[in-house]
Amino acid sequence: MRARVHVTLKPGVLDPQGEAVRHALGSLGFEGVGEVRMGKVIELDLAEGDPGAARDRVTEMCEKLLANTIIENYTVDVA
Amino acid sequence: MRARVHVTLKPGVLDPQGEAVRHALGSLGFEGVGEVRMGKVIELDLAEGDPGAARDRVTEMCEKLLANTIIENYTVDVA
């Protein structure tokens, strides 16, 4: 079973990396680029065969390790 | 118009960050976790209103800045 986790900064949390990308795109001549936000994708191979159980497991991983829930949101997709 | 870019390491490219996460999950007692791969998500706000043109623009951004196409794959979603 494969899980994909998206970890993104919460709205309002400053994103210097995204800001740097926005400036770099401007320098390269790309116009009309507004806000840029950077996040992480984490793809996991799981031995767990049940989608519901896998989702619960990965949610627990997010809470404990994969995301900093003070400043980050996460979403879990299981396939 | 909003675009979301996923940048992931090509298969076979070593992913030490993913490996570190896998070990950390093991140390926390999460069993049955196989390969872990880390990637990036980049969310962009674009002034461009046409989905096709926006996709072409973002693809060009990926080729020039957002992805290292030697070792990384990318996908572009426009919404």
Write the ipTM: 0.90
Asked if B6 and B40 touch (Cβ cutoff 8 Å), the reply is yes
Nearest in space to B8 (alpha carbons), one of B35, B38, B43, B42: B38
The per-residue pLDDT for A64 is 97
* Number of helical H runs and strand E runs in chain A: 2, 3
pTM tops 0.80, yes or no: yes
Q: In chain A, which residues have their Cβ closer than 8 Å to the Cβ of B25?
A: 61, 65
For the segment B36-78, what is each residue's pLDDT rounded down to a tens digit?
999 999 999 999 999 999 999 999 999 999 999 999 999 999 9
Beta strands (DSSP E) in A1-79 are 2-9, 33-46, 72-78
For the segment A25-53, what is each residue's pLDDT rounded down to a tens digit?
999 999 999 999 999 999 999 999 999 99
Share of chain A above pLDDT 90, in %: 99
3-class DSSP assignment, residue B20: helix
Would you call B39 and A41 a contact, using CB atoms and an 8 Å cutoff?
yes
Q: Binning pLDDT at 50, 70 and 90, where does residue B11 land?
A: very high
Asked if B43 and B4 touch (Cβ cutoff 8 Å), the reply is yes
Closest Cα in chain B, distance from residue A17 (Å): 10
Q: In chain B, which residues have their Cβ closer than 8 Å to the Cβ of A39?
A: 40-43
Q: In chain A, which residues have their Cβ closer than 8 Å to the Cβ of B18?
A: 42
Average confidence score pLDDT of chain A: 97
Cα A67 to Cα A7, A24, A57, A79, B52, distances in angstroms: 6, 27, 14, 20, 33
